Amino acid sequence: MKQKKSKLERELSGTPESVSANLPGKAARPSTASGKENKDIVTISTEVLDGTPRPEDEDADMVDVQDAAAAAKAAPPEVYSREEEIEKLRTSGSMTQNQAEISRVRNLSKIQMGKHEIEPWYFSPYPQEFADCDMVYICEFCLSYFGEVKQFERHRNKCTLLHPPGNEIYRDDYVSFFEIDGRRQRTWCRNLCLLSKLFLDHKTLYYDVDPFLFYCMCTRDEHGCHLVGYFSKEKESAEGYNVACILTLPQYQRKGFGKLLIAFSYELSKRENKLGSPEKPLSDLGLLSYRAYWQETIVDMLMDGRTEANIEDLGMAAAMMTNDVLHTLQNLNMIKTSVSLRCMWHWEKS
């Protein structure tokens, strides 16, 4: 009890609150799959909130957590400039800079994936014993996770997987996309959900991955296909969503991969002859990425004259929901309401 209490006091630097997530009944068994080790280690530093998951039946620890929460709320909020706010958004993944408002506290201190060492941003329901590990080792091909380096090395010697376990549906000189069925590859998709939860604060983790398809983007080299990011979508969405969850891993952010993921999701919607929209609510970084994509797509279409200048035609040409087109035009101040209360776009070339 004292050991856990002292550890909580050392690591706690924010306001822990209750964390709700669907925890698995037991830890996922490592799969026997492959690839070669990359020996160079690149450390990626991110500004995050340190903390420990709250023990369930520890009354003494609960008192310490409540005291720390009260102290964080009583502290004066820090004032950030616009540049500092943008930088913290990029590095922490959340627009919430007030520590008293952060509801999910990370439980893993660091993970190693391929040649990258990454500091997680948020809580993810990995088995409890991994919270005490200094480093969690994740196989970048099968996404199995290990708490000790010897276990990880033993797994790597046996691993035969070199790419996500699905069909390769797109390839160019550098990037490949794989389609994975959650029903056929449950373990791999569950491990992917655990990994993505480390960097998404709004994601609700479901272990029922059967209703989803996962589209994973990878870069290729002589060692195999390295996971860059992914998006998932429901096989049958009543609301017409073409994306349920989307993520670019931190080590590949700010390189244009997020825009490529979004564009690929709309290309799939065009092939299905459907209008698509991401599932709401979006994370802070996701919302910024989608707004930038929508604005660029619509402005390019208007500049090129590829479609008539009305909301319905713009949506059909870009496979975007009418509401997304409307909100984008409003943000660009390109909407003008007539006397008859019909919405028409108004655009003046600068």
Active site residues: 279
The burial of 278, by beta-carbon neighbours within 10 Å (0-12 exposed, 13-18 middle, 19 or more buried), is given as buried
3-class DSSP string for the chain: CHHHHHHHHHHCCCCCCCCCCCCCCCCCCCCCCCCCCCCCCEEECCCCCCCCCCCCCCHHHHHHHHHHHHHHHHCCCCCCCHHHHHHHHHHHCCCCCCHHHCCCCCCCCCEEECCEEECCCCCCCCCHHHHHCCCEEECCCCCCEECCHHHHHHHHHHCCCCCCCCEEEEECCCEEEEEEECCCCHHHHHHHHHHHHCCCCCCCCCCCCCCEEEEEEEEEECCEEEEEEEEEEECCCCCCEEECEEEECHHHCCCCHHHHHHHHHHHHHHHCCCCEEECCCCCHHHHHHHHHHHHHHHHHHHHHCCCCCCHHHHHHHHCECHHHHHHHHHHCCCEEECCCCCEEECCCCC
Cross-strand partners of 113:
116, 138
**Contacts of 94-97 spanning 24+ positions with Cβ under 8 A:** 94/121, 94/201, 94/283, 94/284, 95/284
**Residue keyed to tokens 């491990």:** 191
In sequence order, what are the residues at sequence separation of 6 or more whose Cβ sits closer than 8 angstroms to the Cβ of residue 173? none
The tokens for 280 are 């709401």
| Cα–Cα dist 293/301, whole Å | 12
